[in-house]
Structure 1
């Protein structure tokens, strides 16, 4: 087997290995923590009254079954992977008896929408402005745009989020600063609800986009600056080809190929930024859910969110990796 089928099988094998190692690390870390979800649940249930030792023993046994903590570490490992395979991470400690999968299912669409919008907006604007700045190097407006983009780039996500919170929440309160939509609003597909969701997402998206814009801008400007010196670009200019066509068909198109790869590779770091950003703005996504789970020691919820995050980021990288040889004919799929 040669060509793209072999390339596909190789990448699928690498994907499975990455997911397997990542989930195993999450299992080891969560089991190495001193937090015992069973004892926490027993303490919470018995803090307002005395309970017989027999009842506590039965409660402990039932909770171990619920959390998959029965038997030795090897038994717990097998139980954990069986739950991962079926998408069942047991009940949540902080929202008992709601299943972890239900909580993640409620929060995941918010985070996915936030990341997709902010990532695509940043990628498109950064590459567009960077490509124009690399080709029209004497433009003062593009130089100023580059200065602004590079100013925000080294600033951490949460600092930008706090700055936006202060500016638009207190100094110029024109945008909502907390939540995913207006309180006491019916969740449906009405224009009022969609408008409220969009308004509440502006500041979280903006905080992620401002930080990520500089990286794409600088990368694209550097790529375009190298491509414009190529012979085929010089011949096209001498041949009287319109500059707009040269920029779009000869320069930007070739420069975008490595940027597509970088789009997938940046998803992991953006997710980290989304966790903090969601917490700052009280956004009802996976980030807010994860921070709350860590604070209360919700073992099952932390493990479930970590597993879903590992799989989601790995799938995104895999899809871009599989599309890369199809996008760039210069890359051989081996």
Structure 2
């Protein structure tokens, strides 16, 4: 069990993180943008005079802060050493606040939005997809799949904008953006929790509807094959109620591939969450990444990309290790 199942997957997990973080390190360094010169130019545009000696000293200090001192190999080694300490350096547009502090403030918002929307859309989508697949000869089932087929190709940002315009701008049922009312302090009171839900409802529902549409269609295709199996035919011939066949036999067996799809779709949903947060000005990683790209914040972009790689890889590893608990055909060998 340990040698043939756990260790290979853990090594693969480490390899994915190593390759991903290495790409995160090299890609920004091959771009024409120099964060040090960009910051010095920003300071000088404000009317601050800097003599050449001061510029030279500032350049050396900023290179140290941004991890750009020394050769490329030395930068790479220092990058990993700083990474193990959780040190991504200071942010540019929120200088001198450390990147890890900004990520720590924004990450809970994204994790909360992402985890709830992912799990709910996965559960609801699988149940609806199983019912639609089993009762596909019914008119309402074909209509439901037609709606899912219409919604699925819509990009995240377009769907989010549609919902925002209708429910926040026209109907004014929900706020246009943000994560909580201005000036309100976080607490465990019922009023604060309801306000959090009110602000998170539109980004949550926009991700859920698209996720449900994708999961429903996938589940419907899997169920269309499961209903042809001999054990389903035997259950029908034996007079077992359709409700029991649907949930206990068909959906239960069709759920096994969907456990893997849950892990594989995590990366796609994560990218969709970032875009959705930008549309709704939600104070998560998406909004933070947008500000980092807009200001050319070298350290913050690398920090967000690294945290994303580690988070998605960890989630996939957990699902992979738990999969044998769902599928009795897979054993720890």
TM range (shorter): over 0.9
Post-superposition shift, 1:333? 4.0
Greater Cα offset, 222-231 or 276-285: 222-231
**After superposition, what is the alpha-carbon deviation per residue over 1:68-92, rounded to whole angstroms, capped at 9, x for unaligned?**
1111111111111111111110110
Over the residues paired in the alignment, what is the CA RMSD in angstroms?
Answer: 1.4
Greater Cα offset, 136-145 or 77-86: 136-145
2:175 matches 1:176: yes
Greater Cα offset, 79-88 or 258-267: 79-88
2:185 matches 1:186: yes
**What residue is the counterpart of 2:22 in the other structure?**
24
In 1, Cα distance between equivalents of 2:149 and 2:120:
17
In 2, Cα distance between equivalents of 1:139 and 1:121:
25
Match 1:13 to one of 11, 27, 34: 11
Secondary structure at the residue paired with 1:266? helix
Q: Is the 8 A contact 2:169 2:176 kept in 1?
A: no
**What residue is the counterpart of 2:39 in the other structure?**
41
**After superposition, what is the alpha-carbon deviation per residue over 1:28-57, rounded to whole angstroms, capped at 9, x for unaligned?**
111112222212222233331322222222
How does the TM-score come out when normalised to structure 2?
Answer: 0.96
**After superposition, what is the alpha-carbon deviation per residue over 1:166-192, rounded to whole angstroms, capped at 9, x for unaligned?**
111222111112001111111222222
**What residue is the counterpart of 2:89 in the other structure?**
90
Matches within 5 A, 1:171-320: 171-320=170-319
Matches within 5 A, 1:21-170: 21-47=19-45, 48-170=47-169
In 2, Cα distance between equivalents of 1:104 and 1:49:
30
Post-superposition shift, 1:4? 5.0
**After superposition, what is the alpha-carbon deviation per residue over 1:134-192, rounded to whole angstroms, capped at 9, x for unaligned?**
11223333332222122110111111011111111222111112001111111222222
| Count of matched residue positions in the alignment of Structure 1 and Structure 2 | 332
Secondary structure at the residue paired with 2:181? coil
**What residue is the counterpart of 1:322 in the other structure?**
321
* Structure 1 unaligned spans of 5+: none
Post-superposition shift, 1:332? 4.1
In 1, Cα distance between equivalents of 2:266 and 2:64:
36
In 2, Cα distance between equivalents of 1:15 and 1:286:
23
In 1, Cα distance between equivalents of 2:134 and 2:44:
70
Post-superposition shift, 1:194? 1.1
How does the TM-score come out when normalised to structure 1?
Answer: 0.95
In 2, Cα distance between equivalents of 1:71 and 1:5:
41
Post-superposition shift, 1:215? 1.7
Post-superposition shift, 1:220? 1.1
Q: Is the 8 A contact 1:129 1:142 kept in 2?
A: no
In 1, Cα distance between equivalents of 2:332 and 2:152:
34
